[in-house]
């Protein structure tokens, strides 16, 4: 068994009076420290703040089902194949020899956190992220879902052309019996070229009937597989944006009324979101469109349901959220970022239509905004631009940022991403960094889908309170802690988006440690800097 797929019964026991263990829960007290900053004349006043939290995590992991919308797609079929290969210990021959299945690329299963120092050796102690708190093992996930294409999963895997032949050959008997449920198909939302796949569609035109049908599918899947928890994941084609129309989708009441009226602007992905929220199961959007219209966010808030999105941050954007942060934090000023992609899978085919490309372009373009806005020494803020240009509506200074995506069938799922970072360095000098990245898109996406679902499941078991008199509360509906895996993270309305990858990872690590009552000052390493 590959170490990333190993099953361990490790329990982290924190020896502190602030962390308590019962059979049912891990409860930890945590002091959340921050600072309030104000300008006072020419000075800056900083007031340290602190708030006491208590986090309570349910220890029993549920029997988990994941329902994928777009199950027969490249990601859906590769995800299913990966879980089944690991679960059934399927090994296969490659030209380099025998290959065992793994979960490489998963932050939870294949990366570690530094817990502290071993007093015996004085060395750092690192633990797999998935061993910090009780989490579902991916091999135990039950998979189901919907697709507008009726191909059973063995054939969908063959159509995807992602996995090597000798692995596919052995997975056929395990995948053959999995057939996607019929789905809702509203042709105006995805590219017209997808019509040829749509042979597995829920009949009728009433969106209310479709909603009821999807809700019943979720309930039946849960019962049939004897599951404690289900997560619904959108891995279907990228849709065009939905228009946000007052009275149609801007409030929860309006959205539900629009479903009753079969309003044309209610997209399939939003309808699935409503179904999941009404069934009380988490819903994650792995594609870029604005599934989470304000009415759906409101509905999730009112039901204390969990949602997360948007769009998987797998390759180019992940690099960008590292590189742009590195450059700007190094005091170097990117002047332009030009990103070019070509790919030949069905995702690329769908994105070759303008409205669907637009969704992807929007999702990819905001990724450097927070890093740029954080450095007013290199980039002029809006007020300064307005003053200099005389235009009160002037935007803050920003590097030129362009995104091109082209469909090239020959390269299949093996996406090519070329990026050029052109920056200003010392004394007006220039630096150009070019990156060329080529790999199977679905092999990057699969571990992200897994991490998103397993983390979302864990977060449904974490509750908090700020005073001992209060009842424990679930976390806020929008699970922004999942941002690390998402290209355009959805956050609590009115709060700032963090795109920088290291900050996203740090937030996740700190949160998981906080649930154990551990704070994260480890990188201070004061013992190495003092006498
Ligand atoms: P794909 O085209 O191979 O799969 C999508 C599947 O969704 C198809 O089988 C299609 O028949 C199905 N589908 C379309 N509309 C549907 C509906 N209304 N209901 C149910 N099924 C429907 O694409 P993919 O490569 O698997 O990618 C899936 C999604 O993930 C795309 O939106 C893509 O943009 C997004 N994404 C992928 C990556 C990546 O692969 N690295 C990264 C970021 C985002």
The CA 415 to ligand 1 mean position distance, Å, reads 15
Q: What is the mean pLDDT of the chain?
A: 95
At 122, the pLDDT band (50, 70, 90 cuts) reads confident
Across 45-62, average pLDDT: 96
- Say whether 430 sits in a helix, a strand or coil: strand
- Give the residue, by CA position, lying nearest to ligand 1 atom 28: 235
Strands 142-146 and 64-69, how do they pair? parallel
Q: Is the CB of 148 under 6 A from ligand 1?
A: yes
Determine the residue of 74, 211, 236 to mutate for testing ligand 1's pocket, defined as the one with the most ligand atoms within 8 A of the Cβ atom.
236
Q: Is the CB of 269 under 6 A from ligand 1?
A: no
Q: Is the CB of 19 under 6 A from ligand 1?
A: no
At 358, the pLDDT band (50, 70, 90 cuts) reads confident
Q: Is the CB of 235 under 6 A from ligand 1?
A: yes
pLDDT value, residue 526: 79
The CA 487 to ligand 1 mean position distance, Å, reads 15
What are the tokens at 7? 């099953």
Q: Quick: pLDDT tens for 366-375.
A: 888 888 888 9
Give dist(CA 459, CA 134) in Å, integer.
Answer: 11
The CA 160 to ligand 1 mean position distance, Å, reads 11
**Is residue 508's pLDDT more than 90?**
yes
**Is residue 415's pLDDT more than 80?**
yes
Instruction: List phi, psi (to 5°) of 45.
Output: -105, 125
pLDDT value, residue 529: 86
Instruction: ipTM value, please give it.
Output: 0.99
The CA 237 to ligand 1 mean position distance, Å, reads 4
What are the tokens at 11? 């329990």
Q: Is the CB of 341 under 6 A from ligand 1?
A: no
Q: Quick: pLDDT tens for 177-229.
A: 999 999 999 999 999 999 999 999 999 989 999 999 999 999 999 999 999 99
- Residue (of 105, 114, 107) closest to 135 by Cα position: 107
Active-site residue numbers? 311, 360, 415, 487
Give dist(CA 509, CA 511) in Å, integer.
Answer: 5
pLDDT value, residue 43: 95
Q: Is the CB of 267 under 6 A from ligand 1?
A: no
Q: Is the CB of 509 under 6 A from ligand 1?
A: no
The CA 66 to ligand 1 mean position distance, Å, reads 16
- Say whether 379 sits in a helix, a strand or coil: coil
Q: Which atom of ligand 1 is nearest to the CA of 72?
A: 9
């Amino acid at each position: 068994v590959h170490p990333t797929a190993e099953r361990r019964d490790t329990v982290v026991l924190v020896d502190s009076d602030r962390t308590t263990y019962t059979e049912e829960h891990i409860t930890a007290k945590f002091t959340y420290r921050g600072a309030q900053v104000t300008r006072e004349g020419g000075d800056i006043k900083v007031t340290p703040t602190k708030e006491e939290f208590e986090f309570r995590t349910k220890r029993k992991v549920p029997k988990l089902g994941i329902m994928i919308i777009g199950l027969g797609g490249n990601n859906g079929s590769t995800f299913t194949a990966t879980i089944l290969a690991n679960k059934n210990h399927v090994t296969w021959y490659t030209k380099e020899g025998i290959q065992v299945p793994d979960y490489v690329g998963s932050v939870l299963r294949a990366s570690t956190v530094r817990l502290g120092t071993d007093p015996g050796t004085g060395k750092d102690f690192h633990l797999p992220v998935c061993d910090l708190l009780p989490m579902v093992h991916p091999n135990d996930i039950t998979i189901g879902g919907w697709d507008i294409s009726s191909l059973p999963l063995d054939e969908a895997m063959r159509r995807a052309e992602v996995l090597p032949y000798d692995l596919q050959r052995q997975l056929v008997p395990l995948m053959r019996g999995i057939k996607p449920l019929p789905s809702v198909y509203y042709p105006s939302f995805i590219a017209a070229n997808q019509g040829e796949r749509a042979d597995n569609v829920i009949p009728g035109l009433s969106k209310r009937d479709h909603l009821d049908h999807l809700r019943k599918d979720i309930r039946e899947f849960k019962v049939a597989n004897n599951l404690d928890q289900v997560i619904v994941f959108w891995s279907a084609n990228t849709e065009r944006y939905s228009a946000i129309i007052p009275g149609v989708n801007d409030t929860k009441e309006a959205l539900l009324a629009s479903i009753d009226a079969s309003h044309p602007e209610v997209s399939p992905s939003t309808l699935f979101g409503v179904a999941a929220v009404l069934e009380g199961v988490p819903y994650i959007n792995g594609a870029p469109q604005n599934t989470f219209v304000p009415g759906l966010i409101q509905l999730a808030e009112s039901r204390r349901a969990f949602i997360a999105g948007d769009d998987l941050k797998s390759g180019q954007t992940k690099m960008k959220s590292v590189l742009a942060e590195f450059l700007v934090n190094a005091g170097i000023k990117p002047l332009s970022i030009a990103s070019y992609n070509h790919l030949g899978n069905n995702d690329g085919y769908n994105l070759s239509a303008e409205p669907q490309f637009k969704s992807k372009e929007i999702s990819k373009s905001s990724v450097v905004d927070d890093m740029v806005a954080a450095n007013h020494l290199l980039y002029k803020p809006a007020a300064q631009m307005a003053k200099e240009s005389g235009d009160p509506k002037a935007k803050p200074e920003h590097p030129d940022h362009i995104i091109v995506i082209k469909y090239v069938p020959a390269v299949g799922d093996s996406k090519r991403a070329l990026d050029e970072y052109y920056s200003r360095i010392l004394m007006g000098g220039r630096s150009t960094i070019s990156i060329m990245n080529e790999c199977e898109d679905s092999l990057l996406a699969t571990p992200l889908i897994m991490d998103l679902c397993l983390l979302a499941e864990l977060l449904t078991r974490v509750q908090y309170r700020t005073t001992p008199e209060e009842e424990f509360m679930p976390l806020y509906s929008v699970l922004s802690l999942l941002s690390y895996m998402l290209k355009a993270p959805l956050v609590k309305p009115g709060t700032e988006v963090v795109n920088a990858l290291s900050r996203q990872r740090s937030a996740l690590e700190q949160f998981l440690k906080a649930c154990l009552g551990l704070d994260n000052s480890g990188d201070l390493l004061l013992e190495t800097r003092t006498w």
